[in-house]
Amino acid sequence: MEPTGEVQRPEIVPGERIFLSQVRREDIPLYARWFSDIELTTYLGLRGFSFMPEHEQEWYDSVVRDRSSRTFAIVVREGQRLIGNVSLMNIDEARGLAELGIAIGDKSAWGQGYGSEAVRLMADYGLTFMGLHTIYLWHVAYNQRGHRAYLKAGFKVAGRLRGADLFNGRRYDRILMD
């Protein structure tokens, strides 16, 4: 195989078909494009969210420096293709608690099991490497693809906030899982 000139990403958390790696400054334009996509942000429950170019550096700095979160790039092993990110947020070390969030921004990667694998890898990282006790997440009820991925990764429904999300004049439940 001939060198491509591109720097290989380090595998911080290795998986079978993907691995978790550091978010790099040169990834910012791709994240900006993904998080400007209405379909993606709707599934994430981030309606109205906009990743503005003037906030790119601020976002990257928070990913690198924020001690209350850990964010990793999700990279498909074959071709070293960046497809999204996964985070542990609101880390409470005293209680051993953190919230998990994931975004598969590359729509060609949707429905292929990468999300389930990334969630499983990140949960294992938090529980094993960081010594956390509980990792939880939430999603809007209409995100059935996400719900199936979380179940496949081992999460269980812990509760439901009825009507907690409003979208296009209709209320949706927010599902809590751990």
The pTM of this model reads 0.85
Give the confidence band of 58 by pLDDT, cuts at 50, 70, 90.
confident
User: Any alpha helices (H) in 15-99, and if so which ranges?
Assistant: 28-34, 38-43, 56-65
Q: How far apart are CA 63 and CA 69, in angstroms?
A: 8
Would you say residue 171 lies in a domain?
no
Would you say residue 2 lies in a domain?
no
**Number of domains, the chain:** 1
Tell whether the model's pLDDT for residue 75 goes beyond 70: yes
Phi, psi angle pair for 33, to nearest 5° = -65, -45
Look at residue 5 in the predicted model and tell me its pLDDT: 45
Question: pLDDT tens-digit profile of 82-110?
Answer: 999 999 999 999 999 999 999 888 889 98
Q: With b meaning 16 or more CB within 10 Å and e meaning fewer, what string describes 80-103?
A: eebbbbbbbeebeeeeebbbbbbb
Would you say residue 174 lies in a domain?
no
Would you say residue 155 lies in a domain?
no
Would you say residue 4 lies in a domain?
no
The domain that contains 96 carries what CATH number? 3.40.630.30
Q: Domain of 24?
A: 13-135
Would you say residue 116 lies in a domain?
yes
Question: pLDDT tens-digit profile of 125-166?
Answer: 999 999 999 999 999 898 888 899 999 999 999 999 999 988
